[in-house]
Structure 1
Amino acid sequence: MCSKKPLVGVLASLVFGCHVFCSSASAQITNFDFGELEYIDLPEELSPTCFDFADLDDDGDLDAVVVGRNTDGRVSLLEGGPGGSLALVGELTAPGQVDWVELGDFNEDGAIDMVLGIRSWVGMVVIFDGLSNGGFVEDPRTIRLGRELRSTRIADLNQDAHLDLVVVGHGSEEIQVLNGDGTGAFSFGSRLRTAPWRNGYPYPQSAELLDLDLDGFTDIAAIGLGSRTIELSLNDGTGGFSRTRSWKGPDLANGQQPGCAYGEWQDFNGDGRVDCLLSLTDFGMQQFAILQLDESGDISTTTLHPGVSYGFSWYPASGDFDGDGDRDVVIGHALPGLIAIFENVTEPGGDPEFLYPQSFLGLQFIRYLRSIDLDLDGDADLVAADFSGDRLIVLRNQLVGAPPPDGGSSQSDQAAEQTVSISLPPKLEQMDGSSITKWLSDLSAPEVRQFIDTSKSPASEAIESGGVRP
């Protein structure tokens, strides 16, 4: 079940380095045709941080790999079945906590391999080579680099037809390129220092690989949660990145500087150029921004949009959930971990506009979120990782598809009627957005659970009373 309630917030009007316009969407509410929340239980204390999908065993169904911030380094393997069901079938062990996973064929043998970013002071990229039966070798290969890796992304950066890696070193303040040779081996390529002009710690958190300036080469877009910066590095065509530009995230109308950690890079206004959906984290009313890029790949215009009045904005994603050809916005939140979905009603080539959100409650900390056609029925579903809940959350889009499959997931009618009760440290009210974002990014799942009581008020009471604020 879903809860729908219009949420009106203060719009921002200032950002460094570019013009800002405020959205004024009409007072309508997003109402997509999603089913009830489905829960896929994961091993206790896995603390899921990320997942990826691929048809590992070549049976026509999507399988999943789920990683987590657990000290045992456990990695869960889920087999996909007809209708998009997922069932736990095994585990692997990595040498430490894992914040990110991606799947790809690095040695070009036809089997899908797995790359992990290890969250340790001595950072490691860990690669589990895939087997022809859809499994993985038990003993991985490791590449030591950086400190506290938060993301490992895959693309062909140097136009040699082999997959390369881009690694985000949160503690070492760097973006490192590893060039693949098609055999599964990697060599060190470009190293980008994040926000070198800034005093303090930039703490890069995420990176996306995409063509920012439409020249046919894959560029790097990184976000630093300590510096509140969006850093765009343009590829020279050989995998070199000599030109990096930095923009500070937007300020709010009240002078607050919200934090930012992740971006979703898509074309939200249909002008043929990529935009960035930036989730903005602050105490109080949440907002999100759309950063529009020009032909050169520079950020030219920013619009800010009201979010929800409870929880902290964390992970942004998007998908065409109503089949109208544009990208709708979805944001996963922390403490409590609701999922908020905003229908895109932007006129082609115009300033972005979104309806008020459709919200799904009863969750804890949506650490990662992805739009994917899980059941392969032709419409976009949603899958989320509930960090402290040790579960995946599935929202099946019923625009085209059939009811959810039996088996492989545990569903709860009670979750639709209840939300979590949160007791947060009073210090958060005195912290700026970047400090709150850093605090959230460093939390362990046991720490999150200390703030949560899942036995309390129904969702409607929580919304009416302001919900989660101490």
Structure 2
Amino acid sequence: MLTVALGAVPHTLESQTFSRWSTPCDGLDNTASIALGDLDGDGDLDVVFGNGMHLAQTDWVLSNDGYGMLYGRRALGDSPDPSYGVALGDLDGDRDLDVVVTNDAGALTAIYRNDGKGNFSALAYLGNYRAPQPRRAVALGDLDMDGDLDAVLVGLGQDHIYLNEERGRRWSERALGLREAGGGRATGVALADVDGDRDIDIVVPGRYETLSVVFINDGRAGFAETRSLGAGPEDVTFVAVGDVDGDGDPDIVAAHWEQPHIVYLNDGRGHFKKGATFGSGREQTWTVALGDMDLDGDLDAVVGNVNIGFWRSDLDGDRRDEQFGRTDRDEPSRLYLNDGAGRFLAGSSLSTGTDNTRPVAVGDLDGDGDLDVVMGNTCQPNHIFFNPLRSPKSP
């Protein structure tokens, strides 16, 4: 077990250490997404790793022993897929958590039904069977206010919403915006009632110098009204939604690739103004997660950084970036602490600068009342970082 110092920060995590534990995986997976939830009904958080990205790999389900140790690794699905996004929710109305997995080109989005004990079987598939569209992220919420969970799928090309019609077995598809809205290349999506009208709106980040867009729900899963987020096209890899300034409405934290991260503050009616920025501007950040990491009553931010990759340039003038050239960033994934007003301070290292982290997720894995961090890596072991603020319960 490795301890990682957080450094000097003006909060209760000062001079504390996070304990790092490697999950029981072989370290060869390209982990693109992580979902936490009680899959087997025993009261603790289990883990789903979505693996593959552009390669066909096996997705894994791992059980929690109640003390943060994961065991019983088992495959999700009958065959490897190029998985990107994972989300959990009760799609069939039987009060347990089912799993949705989005895939890259050549594979449909898959819905797996939970038997209540953490065993999964295929329930339905979303998309065009003849030409599966690459899907990079998924979010679940009751978009049409009929009492069940619907799905938002984004990625390359046209984004879509899928309305749940028959307990997860039949779905109706609707296009979400124009292909250009959100860039048609998003790698994340978030849901929240941003305008205070009690329905769920959609936030789609714009990748590769495209616009990030907020889609306003009309209450019937219609999203004709859109609002741009930010001053113009940017490279936003992921968005997380939560009340970061303590005024009671959901704000947006936008993680950027090789640019400072931006906080967008909500006026309560779904109009956002640019707030503080944070980060070095060198980070190749893939995801951001929000949670009260230091137990001071506000939402802090954890970012997952990629350290080995390629720099991009539009070499042929087609408005699409070609990958060309290797980068080694030495930018560890970090915890940023909120000052209570939506300003994130004193970024502290959680991993080493050689970890190639994409997804991060926060949750109380060891049952001690504070939030731990799960990080997914590319061709490296995935890790859990246990928060030191409270002592874990004893077996």
TM-score (norm 1): 0.71
Q: Which residue of 2 aligns with 1:129?
A: 113
Q: Which residue of 1 aligns with 2:205?
A: 223
C-alpha distance in 2, partners of 1:308/1:37?
24
Match of 1:341 among 335, 346, 358: 335
Q: Does 1:104 align with 2:89?
A: yes
Contact 2:177–2:224 (CA under 8 A) maintained in structure 1: no
- Between structure 1 and structure 2, the one with the greater Rg is 1
Q: Which residue of 2 aligns with 1:396?
A: 386
Q: Does 1:164 align with 2:147?
A: no
Match of 1:297 among 241, 260, 270: 270
Contact 2:7–2:14 (CA under 8 A) maintained in structure 1: no
1:211 shift after superposition:
0.4
Secondary structure (helix, strand or coil) at the match of 1:333 reads strand
RMSD: 2.6
Contact 1:319–1:328 (CA under 8 A) maintained in structure 2: yes
* Letter in structure 2 aligned against 1:339: S
Secondary structure (helix, strand or coil) at the match of 1:103 reads strand
Contact 2:124–2:169 (CA under 8 A) maintained in structure 1: no
Q: How many residues align?
A: 364
Q: Which residue of 2 aligns with 1:314?
A: 286
Q: 1:32 to 1:236 in 2, by over 3 A?
A: farther
Q: Which residue of 2 aligns with 1:154?
A: 140
Q: Which residue of 2 aligns with 1:416?
A: none
Q: 1:294 to 1:311 in 2, by over 3 A?
A: closer
Contact 1:31–1:358 (CA under 8 A) maintained in structure 2: no
Q: Which residue of 2 aligns with 1:451?
A: none
Contact 1:379–1:401 (CA under 8 A) maintained in structure 2: no
Q: Does 1:42 align with 2:15?
A: no
Q: 1:233 to 1:360 in 2, by over 3 A?
A: same
Contact 2:159–2:179 (CA under 8 A) maintained in structure 1: no
Match of 1:80 among 64, 70, 74: 64
Q: 1:202 to 1:357 in 2, by over 3 A?
A: same
Contact 1:76–1:88 (CA under 8 A) maintained in structure 2: no
Task: Please list the CA deviations of residues 246-291 of structure 1 after superposition, one character each: whole Å capped at 9, or x if unmatched.
Answer: 23467xxxxxx86211011111111112111112222xxx522111
- Which structure shows the bigger proportion of residues in helix conformation? 1
- Tell me whether 325-334 or 55-64 shows the greater mean CA deviation: 55-64
Q: Which residue of 1 aligns with 2:75?
A: 91
1:388 shift after superposition:
2.5
* Letter in structure 2 aligned against 1:246: S
* Letter in structure 2 aligned against 1:280: H
Secondary structure (helix, strand or coil) at the match of 2:236 reads coil
Match of 1:332 among 304, 324, 338: 304
1:150 shift after superposition:
0.4
C-alpha distance in 1, partners of 2:15/2:98?
35
* Letter in structure 2 aligned against 1:178: Y
C-alpha distance in 1, partners of 2:210/2:181?
13
Match of 1:379 among 354, 370, 382: 370
Q: Which residue of 1 aligns with 2:327?
A: none
Match of 1:239 among 190, 199, 221: 221
Q: Which runs of 5+ in 2 are unaligned?
A: 308-329
Q: Percent identity?
A: 23
C-alpha distance in 2, partners of 1:179/1:219?
14
Contact 1:321–1:380 (CA under 8 A) maintained in structure 2: yes
C-alpha distance in 1, partners of 2:231/2:99?
33
Q: Which runs of 5+ in 1 are unaligned?
A: 7-26, 251-256, 406-470
Match of 1:176 among 147, 155, 160: 160
Q: Which residue of 1 aligns with 2:126?
A: 143
- Which structure shows the bigger proportion of residues in strand conformation? 2
Q: Does 1:209 align with 2:195?
A: no
Match of 2:176 among 182, 192, 199: 192
TM-score (norm 2): 0.84
C-alpha distance in 2, partners of 1:98/1:166?
16
1:4 shift after superposition:
4.9
Secondary structure (helix, strand or coil) at the match of 1:384 reads strand
C-alpha distance in 1, partners of 2:244/2:255?
15
Q: 1:249 to 1:364 in 2, by over 3 A?
A: farther
Contact 2:19–2:388 (CA under 8 A) maintained in structure 1: no
Contact 2:249–2:266 (CA under 8 A) maintained in structure 1: yes
Q: 1:3 to 1:112 in 2, by over 3 A?
A: closer
Match of 1:61 among 21, 24, 44: 44
